[in-house]
Each structure stands twice: as C-alpha cells, then as structure tokens.
A = this chain, B = another copy of it.
Amino acid sequence: MVHATNDAIETRKLRVGMVGGGREAFIGAVHRLAMRLDDRIQLVAGALSSDPERARLSAADIGIAADRAYSSYQEMAKAEAARADGIEGVVIVTPNHMHAPVAAAFLDAGIDIICDKPLSATLQQAEDLARRAAKSGLVFAVTLNNTGYAMVREARAMVASGALGKIRIVRAEYIQDWLTLPIDADGQKQAEWRTDPARAGRSACLADIGVHAYSLAQFVTGQMPDAIAADLTTFVPGRRLDDNAHVLMRYASGARGVLIASQVSPGNYNRLSLKIYGEKAGLEWFAHEPEVLHFAAFGEPARTLTRGGPGVGQAAGSVSRMPAEHPEGYVEGFANLYRDAAALIAARRAGRTPDPALVAAVPNIHDGLAGMRFIEAAVDSHENGGAWTTIAA
C-alpha cells in the first residue's frame, strides 16, 4: 500500500445539532454517517421529530443527551444559542416544506446552516431564505452531496483548466425505479411525502432527484441554463406529482443540454450521470461507478482516470482517503461536503477569510436557490405545454 489516509488533524470538533432525521427517516442517518467519517464533527443536540416521544427515543438511539433532545426546532434554536457549549451549526434534514422555516429560525439564532436539498418547497421560500441568509452573514451550505465525490471535484477542475475547451453539450441524468408502482398510495412513508405537494412542493421527481442532476452539471461546468423546455409526466395513476421529467436546456454561452430525471425506469436504482462535451474533449461520469472519470480528448484514445491513480490531480487527491481501487463511495462524497462545510463554519466563527477553493467547493444557498428556480421554470414550462421558459437569474 502506498497511499496516505487523512485523519482529523484537529481534535477540536465542531458541535452540531440536527433537525429531522428521527426513527423511520432515511436521509438523517446518512448525514450522521457522513459527519462521523472524519471525526471533525460531533452531534450534540437534536429536534429529531416533532413528536416528543419519538424525538426523545430517536435522540437516545444516537447518543444525544436527554437535555438536548428537543421536539421543537424553535426551542432548540433558542436553547442552543443560549448555551456556552451550544451548537455551532445545525443540520436540517426534514421534508422539503420545513427547510425554510427551520433554517430561518436558526439564522435568527445566529447559527450556521447545513441544509438538505431541495432548498425549500416553494421558490418564494427559497428567495426569502436567500435574503435572510445574505443579511445574516452566516454559512449556509446545501447538501447537494454529489459535488463531494472526488472524481466530480476532478471533473470540475478539468473543465476549469480548459481541458475540454469551450463547453458545447451538457447531459445530466438521474434515473430510478422505486416509484414504478403506486407505493405512495400504499402508505410507503418516503414515497408519500415526496409526492405530496404540501410537503414536496410543485414537483416530486425534479425536487427529489432532478435537482441533484442539475446541480451536478452546474458544479462541474460552472454554468446554468437560462432557458428550458420541460416535459413532466405522472405515469403512475393517482400520483399527485411528476415521476418523470425530460428537460431541454439552453445556456447563454451557446451550450445546449438535456436533463432527464425518472423514478419509474425499471432496473435503475440510483443512476446519476453527467456527460460533458467541449470543443476539445469529452468527460463522462457515473455516480454508481464514482471512482472513475472517462475522458477523451478528440483525436486521442479514451482515458480512464481512477481516483488515486496516475494522472489524477489535486482536486480529487485532496478529498481522497483510500488508495486507488479500494473503492470510495457515497459516504465519502457526502463526508467531503461535511468536512468542507465544517471548515467554512469554523473559519467564519474564527473570523478568518476562508480559502476561495473551499468556498467554491461547498454548494451554498445560491446553488440551492438556483435549483429552486430550475424546478419553478420546469413546472412553469410544463404547465405551459412544454414551452421554452426563461429561468430567473
């Protein structure tokens, strides 16, 4: 073995709390795994459920002291802000419609935010939140976690370096099959809230997974489309929101794109991918095989870049824990985001100007807002028969 693995180099860990993520939740536990990996963050408080008994039990499950197990996020924000050893950041992993009110409460309490995607259930919430966040000066990270994969970081650095030349074509996909049958009508909890307009917003499929594809493309290319045409479909009878989305995209630069999101494509569990073609070269990345990046300079043989392997640069190397082909995966990508977000929070609290590379690496409220504007424009386009629709800037 030849590679070094980074341990936490500071024993001082960031203290965080969590809102949402109690028993029966899915993504909260993923966040906890991710924040544990590098040992720089400790979870010390939580409002894991609005049901007091469930909040108490859920907190006990994961070692949160009873006096810091809240059933009200408002109470938690106040109490923690008042403690000398109070939380330094809050992780928000509720259903979409609660992101904005919870985040607002913690912004008001002066606590930095790490919020799950999509930023909110409505664009209005998102815009309001963006204003509040800007005013606050606090860190507002959005866990568009796929940007944390080492080879996604590498892809972005390659695009930025000009290795592809001017970008011409962007193709992003997120394909699943778990909503092929009407499980939302059958009481499956994860399906239920994600397809409920009151909790998910105007879109299910785009809000749940399409926004990941959108943000991945934006992160790697550094560009956002300014107009889209969207064809949203609800294939499963009785479903309240879209379960499939086909979107054409036009960029101000002249680039063109296609974004596809589907939750009804049998045989695909979580197939997120990004393909980018420029004047000089093409790049392809697949989240279910995240360790490799396919790069082809026009007129040269295709190359497979492997995390930890030869020819891979600092962008991937700096967030790499294992040697090549000791596969890293979803947790490591998520943990990279947590590590960087924690570093941003620590810098802000210390009054230090953070490394611009660090700032650029962490999706923030502007990225979250961009995702909401994309969803809004897509639903508008859809409701207008699939017409081309400008995305608000």
**B-side contacts of A326, CB under 8 Å:** 270, 329-330
A 302-327 binary contact with B (CB < 8 Å = 1; else 0)? 11111011111000000001111111
Q: Please tell me if the beta carbons of B304 and A301 are within 8 angstroms of each other in the complex.
A: yes
Q: Which residues of A are at the interface with B, using a C-beta cutoff of 8 A?
A: 1-9, 11, 24, 26-27, 29-30, 32-33, 36-37, 39, 60-63, 168-169, 171, 177-178, 180-181, 183, 188, 190-191, 194, 208, 229, 231, 233, 235, 244, 246, 248, 250, 254, 256-258, 260, 262, 264-271, 275, 277-282, 284, 287-291, 294-306, 308-312, 321-332, 385-388
Contact B168 A279 (CB under 8 A): no
Tally of this chain's copies: 4
Cα(A60)–Cα(B12), bound, Å: 11
Q: Hey, which chain B residues are within 8 Å of A208, CB to CB?
A: 1
- A386–B248 CB distance below 8 A: yes
Query: With A and B bound together, what is the CA distance between A209 and B181 in angstroms?
Result: 35
Report yes or no: B26 in contact with A298, Cβ–Cβ below 8 A.
Answer: no
Q: Check B269 against A256 for contact (C-beta < 8 Å).
A: no
CB pairs A–B below 8 angstroms (19 shown): A1-B194, A1-B208, A2-B183, A5-B26, A7-B29, A8-B62, A169-B235, A246-B248, A246-B258, A262-B277, A266-B298, A268-B296, A270-B326, A287-B325, A302-B303, A302-B306, A303-B303, A327-B330, A328-B331
> Which B residues are in CB contact (< 8 Å) with A331?
37, 321-322, 328, 331-332
Contacting A298 at CB < 8 Å: which of B180, B284, B387?
A: B180
Chain B residues near A294: list those with CB within 8 A: 267
Q: Cβ of A267: which chain B residues have Cβ within 8 Å of it?
A: 277, 281-282, 284, 294-296, 298, 302
Per the bound structure, the CA–CA distance linking A323 and B328 in Å amounts to: 15
A-B pairs, top 9 by smallest CB distance, nearest first, are: A267-B296, A327-B329, A269-B324, A270-B325, A5-B29, A301-B311, A266-B282, A269-B325, A326-B330
Known: A266-B297, A281-B266, A309-B269. A30 touches B322 (CB 8 A): yes
The reply to whether A191 and B2 contact each other, CB–CB distance below 8 Å, is yes
Known A1-B178, A2-B183; 11 more pairs at CB < 8 Å: A5-B33, A33-B321, A168-B264, A180-B279, A180-B298, A248-B386, A258-B260, A265-B277, A266-B277, A268-B282, A303-B304
Max chain B CB contacts within 10 Å: which of A7, A171, A323?
A7
B residues in contact with A386, CB < 8 Å: 229, 248, 388
From the candidates B2, B61, B183, B231, name the one contacting A178 in the complex (CB within 8 A): B2
- Name the B residues within 8 Å of A26 (CB-CB): 1-5
Bound-state CA distance A24–B311 (Å) is: 23
Cα-based distance from A297 to B306 in the complex (angstroms): 14
B residues less than 8 Å from A310 (CB atoms): 298-301
Asked whether, in the complex, the Cβ of A190 is within 8 Å of the Cβ of B277, the reply is no
Q: Is A266 a contact partner of B296 (Cβ separation < 8 A)?
A: yes
- Partner of A36 from the list B39, B178, B270 (CB cut-off 8 Å) is B39
